[in-house]
């Protein structure tokens, strides 16, 4: 099964070099071949597990509590303007 590394990298928003592309293609192919092992297992009548300790619908009261101030929230970026995060143009 040939992995389309370029396509995957695009989906993952990762820019990788030609050299990296070749290396990852090689390494990921080996790993994917190993995980194909799962094909041997019979799971026809088995449910999926995503929450391992059986918790469901964990909620809290809809009350606001203290959080970060605007300055604190912006403290780890240079991309800010007028108390807002600056992002690349999307539209």
Partner 1 sequence: MSLNTLTIKKAKEGLKRKEFSSVDLVKACLSEIEKRKSLNAFITVTEKEALIHAEENDKKIKDGINLSLLGLPISLKDIYLTKGIRTTAASKVLDGYIPQYNAAVVNKLYEAGAIIIGKTNCDAWAHGSSGENSDFGPTKNPYNEEYVPGGSSSGSAVSVAASLSIASMGTDTGGSIRLPASFCNVVGLKPTYGRVSRFGIISMASSLDSIGHFTKTVEDSAHLLSVTAGRDVDDGTSPDEKVDNYESYLGKDIKGLKIGLPKEYFSEGLDKRIKELIEKKVKELERLGATVEIISLPNTEYGIACYYIIQPAEVSSNLGRYDGIRYGSARQNFGAEAKRRIMLGTYVLSSGYYDAYYKKAMRIRTLIKEDFANAFKKVDVLITPVSPTMPWKIGEKFSDPLSMYLSDIYTVTANLAGIPGLSVPIGLIEGLPVGMQIMGPHFSEGKLFQVGQVIEDSEL
Write out the residues near partner 1 by the rule CB under 8 A.
Answer: 3, 5, 8-9, 11-16, 20, 23-24, 27-28, 30-32, 34-41, 43, 46-53, 55, 58, 60, 68, 72-73, 75-77, 79, 85, 87
Rg (CA), the chain: 22
Backbone angles phi, psi at 82, to 5 degrees: 50, 40
CB of 83 to partner 1, least distance (A): 14
Q: Is 29 helix (H, G, I), strand (E, B) or coil?
A: helix
Which element (helix H / strand E) includes 84? Answer: strand 84-85
CB of 18 to partner 1, least distance (A): 14
Residue pair 16/9 in contact by the 8 Å Cβ criterion:
yes
Select 35 or 91, whichever has its Cβ closest to partner 1.
35
CB of 58 to partner 1, least distance (A): 4
């Amino acid at each position: 099964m040939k992995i389309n590394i370029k396509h995957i990298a695009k989906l993952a928003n990762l820019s990788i070099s030609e050299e990296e592309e070749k290396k990852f293609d090689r390494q990921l192919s080996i790993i994917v071949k190993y995980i194909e092992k799962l094909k041997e297992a019979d799971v026809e009548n088995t449910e999926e597990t995503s929450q391992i300790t059986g918790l469901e619908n964990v909620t809290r009261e809809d009350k606001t509590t203290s959080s970060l101030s605007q300055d604190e929230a912006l403290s780890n970026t240079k991309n800010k303007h007028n108390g807002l995060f600056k992002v690349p143009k999307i539209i």
